[in-house]
Chains A and B, each alone.
Chain A
Amino acid sequence: MVRDSRSIDSVVPFTVDVKERLDPFTLENSYLKASFDSNGLLTALSHGGRETASVAIQFLHYGTRSGNQAKSGAYLFLPGGPGRVVEASAEENGVRIVEGSIRSQVVVTLPLVVHQVTLHRSPGIDGVNLDIDNLVNLSGQSNLEVAMRLVTNIDSGTVFYSDLNGLQVIIIDVTSDSFS
C-alpha cells in the first residue's frame, strides 16, 4: 500500500512496500486515469480512456520586486522576476502512495509544500475529479511566493477559466506580465 524511499515498519493490516527507486505509475477509477512520473508528480490525465491531456505539475518559488517598488502581499502578486522551478527529487523528498479500493492518495513532500493528490473510487461527483491539496508552510520565509503550475497541451489561447470561490467561475486572461 505504501511506498517511500526510507524504511517503514508495517502496521497490521497494511502491507508496506518500500522502493529505492519509484517507477512512473498510474491511479485510476472508472472515470479517470491519472499518470505520475518517477517523482510522484502528475503528468497526464485521461477521461474514460478517450482523451488524454498532458498535465504536468511544477512548483515554483517567486521573490518580490526590489527597492521602493510595491511588493507582493495578500492580494497582489508582484514578483521580482520569473519563478524558479523547484526540483522534485523522489530520492530526496520521499513519495508515499496509499492505495485502496475507495481512496488512493499520493503524497509528495517538497521544499515548503506537502503536495497531496487523491483519487476517489466513487460513483458520485467526487469520482470524476482529482483532489489536489497543498499544505504550504512559509514560516521563517519572507517575500517568497510558492506557486503550483500546470503545464498542459490544452490550447485555450491566453484565457482560462478557473474556480473563483467554489461557487462561481472566473475568466483569467494571462496576457498580463505577472504570469510570465
Chain B
Amino acid sequence: MNEKWEPIKVQVSPVFITSHQLSQEEFEISFVISVSPLGMTTYTIRKFVGTFQDNTYVNR
C-alpha cells in the first residue's frame, strides 16, 4: 500500500534456498512506483487475509 493506504499491484517471486529448493517462508516482491529525485516514500506490506486466488492485487 502506498502512503494514502491505496493498494498497489505487486509481483511475488520465489526465493531459492538452494539451486533446486524454494523457500516456504521467504518471498521477494516487486512493484512499480515513481519516486522523485532524492525523494522518499513509505510503502506498507500487509498480509492478505483470504486465499491467493481472492487476492486481486497480485499482478499475475
Which residues of A are interface residues toward B (Cβ below 8 A)? 1-2, 4, 6-14, 16, 94, 96, 98, 100-103, 105, 107, 109, 120-124
Contact = CB atoms under 8 A, between A and B. Distances in A.
A8 B32 contact: no
B19 A103 contact: no
Interface of B: 9-14, 16, 19-24, 30-32, 34, 52, 58-60
A14 B14 CA distance: 7
Given A100-B59, A103-B11, A10 B22 contact: yes
A6 B18 CA distance: 12
Q: Which residue, A2, A12, A13, A14, has most C-beta atoms of chain B within 10 A?
A: A13
B21 A8 contact: yes
8 contacts: A8-B20, A8-B22, A94-B19, A94-B20, A96-B16, A98-B14, A101-B11, A101-B59
Contacts of B9: 101-102
A11 B14 contact: yes
A124 B14 contact: no
A2 to B, nearest CB: 7
A7 B13 contact: no
B1 to A, nearest CB: 17
Contacts of A101: 9, 11, 59-60
Q: Which residue, A8, A100, A109, has most C-beta atoms of chain B within 10 A?
A: A100
A6 B26 CA distance: 21
A1 B14 contact: yes
Contacts of A8: 20-22
Contacts of A2: 14, 22
